[in-house]
Amino acid sequence: MKKGGFLKRPRSITQKPFTPKTLKPKNTRKLIRRYHVLLKNKSIILKKLNWDKDFQLGKWEKIYKKGFDNANEQLFKLDGLNEAQLVEKLGEIDGEIEKNGGLEVYQIASTQGQSNKRGSDSSKKLIEWIEKFDLKDPTALEIGCLSPENVISTCGIFKSITRIDLHSQHPLIQQQDFMERPLPTSNNDKFNLISCSLVVNFVDSPQGRGEMLKRMTEFLLPQAYLFFVLPLPCIENSRYFNNERMLSIMESLGFVQLNHHNSTKLAYWLFQWTKPMKKRTFKKVELNKGSNKNNFCIVLE
């Protein structure tokens, strides 16, 4: 595997690789952006190959490994590639993810983005909004939790908080994919609030994002709240998405917007889930023209 990447991974005396805990701010932003690009291209390739995320390589192992070992930061042109070339590209993407430190380093970058020096813990906004309500011993589910020391945990408002993440960095965070969390069998498995900050934009396909939003409604008690955060460019600078579209999708899922705030980098919402959803579909359609737009989108099928 080639050397380089965002972090040099020095070896400890025991030869076990370890990851430094800090990154330069410029690298942090670059790493987060690149990680999302890699995940998006991986999702496109898997779709083209008709493979799921737990794919078995079988006869493709050699060609995948060739890509993996030759990974270097490159742009991905996927049109017109045959099966073997797609598998090689898949290897390159996985190789680059591994070389850059994978989800672990992405989380370090995200945690640094949260630190007061370089941004803020987004749950501060949640507490500012929610503390005005007279909630009786509310329960919360935090999807995509980086730390049990965020304001949502320290504010003392919640009776209990269930924290989950694809990669747990703390014993108080359950390692779990929300999309695989068993569906509630009774109200005891549901919550008064879900916090989902900067997670839906992490999901690599517009359909997957819609599925995640839909699934959240299964875990909410009637009249429960959803605190939701996206990077601002998702609604301010996307070819396929904007705040109006966001609100239409949420309304179709049964949500009413209680609060909305845009900071210089993030868009925050507080929704209340008031009724079961009316089934509606939202396809990927061009809403804003322009060559410098991003392609963020949420699709409901």
Ligand X SMILES: C[S@@+](CC[C@H](N)C(=O)[O-])C[C@H]1O[C@@H](n2cnc3c(N)ncnc32)[C@H](O)[C@@H]1O
- Which positions lie near ligand X, rule CB under 6 A? 103, 107, 110, 114, 122, 143-144, 146, 164-167, 177-179, 197-199, 202, 229
Which CB, 41 or 122, lies closer to ligand X? 122
Which residue has its beta carbon closest to ligand X? 144
Of 35 and 60, CB closest to ligand X: 35
Measured in degrees and rounded to the nearest 5, phi and psi for residue 251 equal -65, -40
Residue 36, by phi and psi: left (phi above 0), alpha (psi -120 to 50) or beta?
alpha
CB 173 → ligand X: shortest distance, Å? 9
d(CA 43, CA 67): 16
Q: Toward ligand X, which CB reaches closer, 162 or 272?
A: 162
Please answer whether residues 179 and 212 qualify as being in contact, where contact means their C-beta atoms are separated by less than 8 angstroms: yes
| Least distance between ligand X and beta carbon 291 (Å) | 27
- Which CB atom, from 110 or from 272, has the smaller least distance to ligand X? 110
Kindly state the smallest distance separating residue 79's Cβ from ligand X, in Å. 28
> Could you give the 3-state DSSP secondary structure of residue 130?
helix
Segment holding 174, helix H or strand E: strand 174-175
| Shortest distance, position 236 Cβ to ligand X, whole Å | 18
DSSP code of residue 222: E
Q: Nearer to ligand X by C-beta: 61 or 301?
A: 301
287/284 Cα distance (integer angstroms): 9
CB of 180 vs ligand X, minimal distance in Å: 8
Burial class (CB in 10 A: 0-12, 13-18, 19+), 30: middle
Cα–Cα distances in angstroms (integers) from residue 191 to residues 32, 181, 249, in the given order: 30, 14, 21
